[in-house]
Structure formats: structure tokens, C-alpha cells
């Protein structure tokens, strides 16, 4: 009896998770959320992406991967999320949140999902300044100020 209830509970949780999950894809320099374009994307190089607003083509977010000038040592690598319109920069070593080393586009899709989950990015593609401040408090490690150069 307990096993049946547990099984039903697990199936319910999985179905709710699948029902509420959002599909993010980047295709032809468009960021699509469930098939609707919310941002424009530009791959600058393998380590940089820019994201632009749909309203006025302003650059709202710049992603940059930093190898900390030690390409052979990945332990000190980090990424920077620069929310340009809010003038807030977040630096983090938690590469698991966005990394997909074989495909940078998939990594950026993962990053957009993360920003949507944290409500930094609205489903309409707008940045939420209040949530950006909370995001910074949660994830910013202030790496460049701590690093001796």
C-alpha cells in the first residue's frame, strides 16, 4: 500500500515537472521560449555571447567565459554575466550551471533556462532588476577583485 502511494506520488511529481518545464532553444540568432522569440543572440566567439532585447535591440546581457589566463588549468576558470542595462556584473566559478563544453549553444540555452528559473529573465524576455540583485547576492563570487594580477 505504501509502495503504491509512493509510486503514484513520484509519477505525479514527474508529470508536473514535465508539464511546467519550458523549452529554450537558440536557432538562427533567436532565443526561443516554447517556440516564441524572446531575445536575439549573437555568438561573438567560442567564449562570448551577447543577448539583445526584442523591443529596441539594446544589448541586455553579455556572457563571457574566462580561463583566467591559465588554459591548461580549468580549476580557476569562471564566467561573467554582465547585465548591461542594470549595470550589474556576476562572476561565478559554478560552471556546472551553464557549461556544455562540446556545444556552446547548448550551454547558452542552459543559461537562459537558469535565468528564467531564477526569474531574472521574464518569459517576455525582459530583465527583472529586483531579481538581478537577488541573483547577484546568491551567485556572485567577486573573482576579479579577489584575484591578484
In this predicted model, what pLDDT tens digit does every residue of 54-65 receive, in sequence order? 989 899 999 998
pLDDT classification of 34: cutoffs 50, 70, 90: very high
pTM of this prediction exceeds 0.85? no
Please tell me the distance from the alpha carbon of residue 84 to that of residue 59, in angstroms, as a whole number. 7
Handedness of CA 84, 89, 91, 92 (dihedral sign): negative
pLDDT in the model for residue 36: 93
Please tell me the distance from the alpha carbon of residue 89 to that of residue 133, in angstroms, as a whole number. 10
pLDDT at 19 over 50: no
Among candidate residues 107, 133, 106, the one with its CA nearest the CA of residue 118: 133
pLDDT classification of 41: cutoffs 50, 70, 90: very high
Cα→Cα distances 67→12, 30, 64, 75, Å: 42, 27, 10, 9
pLDDT at 37 over 90: yes
Q: Do residues 61 and 81 touch, judged by C-beta distance below 8 A?
A: yes
pLDDT classification of 15: cutoffs 50, 70, 90: low
Q: Do residues 103 and 14 touch, judged by C-beta distance below 8 A?
A: no
**114-139 per-position pLDDT tens digit:** 999 999 999 999 999 999 999 999 99
Q: Do residues 60 and 51 touch, judged by C-beta distance below 8 A?
A: yes
Amino acid at each position: 500500500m505504501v509502495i503504491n502511494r509512493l509510486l503514484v506520488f513520484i509519477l505525479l511529481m514527474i508529470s508536473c515537472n514535465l508539464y511546467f518545464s519550458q523549452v529554450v532553444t537558440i536557432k538562427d540568432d533567436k532565443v526561443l521560449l516554447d517556440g516564441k522569440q524572446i531575445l536575439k543572440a549573437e555568438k561573438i566567439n567560442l567564449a562570448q555571447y551577447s543577448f539583445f532585447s526584442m523591443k529596441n535591440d539594446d544589448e541586455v546581457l553579455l556572457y563571457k567565459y574566462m580561463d583566467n589566463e591559465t588554459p591548461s588549468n580549468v580549476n580557476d576558470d569562471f564566467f561573467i554575466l554582465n547585465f548591461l542595462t542594470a549595470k550589474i556584473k556576476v562572476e561565478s566559478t559554478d560552471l556546472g550551471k551553464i557549461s556544455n563544453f562540446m556545444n556552446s549553444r547548448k550551454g547558452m540555452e542552459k543559461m537562459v533556462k537558469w535565468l528564467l528559473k531564477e526569474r531574472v529573465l521574464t518569459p517576455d524576455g525582459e530583465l527583472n532588476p529586483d531579481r538581478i540583485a537577488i541573483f547577484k547576492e546568491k551567485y556572485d563570487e567577486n573573482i576579479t577583485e579577489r584575484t591578484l594580477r
